[in-house]
Amino acid sequence: MFRKNTVRFIIMTALLVFSLLRTQGQDYIEIGQLGYRYSFPTSASDGDTARSVYGARFNILLPVKISEKTYFLPGFRFWQYRVDPGENFKWYLFQAGIQTQISEKWNLQVLPLLRTGIYQDAKFGDGFQVGVLLSANKQINEDLMLGYGIYTNHELFGQLLQPFLAIDWQISDRWRLFGSFPMYNTLSYSINERWNTGLNYIGLVTSFMGDGVYTERSSLDFDWFIEYYITPQIVAQARFGYPVDRTFEEYAEGDKVDFTLSLLRFGNDRELLREFDKSQFLASFNLFFRVKK
């Protein structure tokens, strides 16, 4: 366990340095997404046969303009993972927040979150988790925005507190870097008006309630993507990559960490019941609906 956490820490620290050196700007808002993801067979530590991991996702965001400076941000996300044979993970997230311009250069975002992750026969609403995201963003110049924020959520494994740095940088006419370290970053290259390509990583921890147990899923995914604008709003995208440190870990319900600050865990003496621990090549296909800011 120590070795695994050390590897995660080294990787994430390297990504922080990378992010601070080169960064992008996202000039659109993703209103909707439909996606499918497949990861080639993985195996379990208890000697089970090889398994594949696949699933679908659906996201929707409906910004509502309240005034010249303020937007209401309601949204919904649904993810589903299936680990063959026959193990299902479902994840629901509801959000309703506010983004407001507080000065010429600064804007503030407050985003309460309600989510539930369920495993196998658990019912919708089991293991509800309440969280909030707070961020303050400063427009440094027309090409660069920096944001400082914090995300907290009452995960099934305990309270999670995650500071983050948001970067939105137009490096050149073709190169852009954008994201929120350590959760995700994207380096994008514009080939022409319809085609983009680039590199992406996502670091994610989620938890799912089961029958007397919960599963903690953590993943650090790196991928190459290419996307095509079918219309100015509809985008088809393909991603191919590798999850460097993906795990599905199962613990007894109520067996928690005292407190988690980013990658640091305090009072983590949980008893691991089961683990899916071998990462394999992954591919995903997405359809986005985007509008210009």
C-beta of residue 204 within 8 angstroms of C-beta of residue 216? no
Percent of the chain predicted with pLDDT > 90: 46
pLDDT in tens, 134-184: 999 999 999 999 999 999 988 899 998 989 999 999 999 999 999 988 888
Least confident of 16-30, 123-137, 264-278: 16-30
Which amino acid does the sequence have at 224?
Answer: W
pLDDT in tens, 39-55: 877 555 555 555 677 88
* Residue numbers of the domain that contains 202: 2-292
pLDDT at residue 196 in the model: 97
Sequential DSSP letters for 199-243? EEEEEEEEEEE-SSEEEEEEEEEEEEEEEEESSSSEEEEEEEEEE
Q: For Cα atoms 186, 173, 32, give the angle at the middle one, nearest 5 degrees.
A: 45
Mean pLDDT of 231-259: 90
pLDDT in tens, 215-242: 888 888 899 999 999 999 999 999 999 8
pLDDT in tens, 8-31: 444 444 444 333 333 334 567 889
This prediction has a pTM of: 0.80
> What distance separates the 2 farthest-apart alpha carbons in the chain?
59
Q: Could you tell me the CATH number of the domain that includes residue 27?
A: 2.40.160
| Integer Cα distance of 6 and 113 in angstroms | 30
| Integer Cα distance of 160 and 152 in angstroms | 5
| Integer Cα distance of 103 and 234 in angstroms | 33
Position with higher pLDDT, 94 vs 45: 94
Per the structure, how many domains does the chain have?
1
Nearest CA to 109 out of 72, 140, 78, 142 is that of 72
Mean pLDDT computed over every residue of the chain: 83
| Integer Cα distance of 254 and 127 in angstroms | 11
C-beta of residue 241 within 8 angstroms of C-beta of residue 219? no
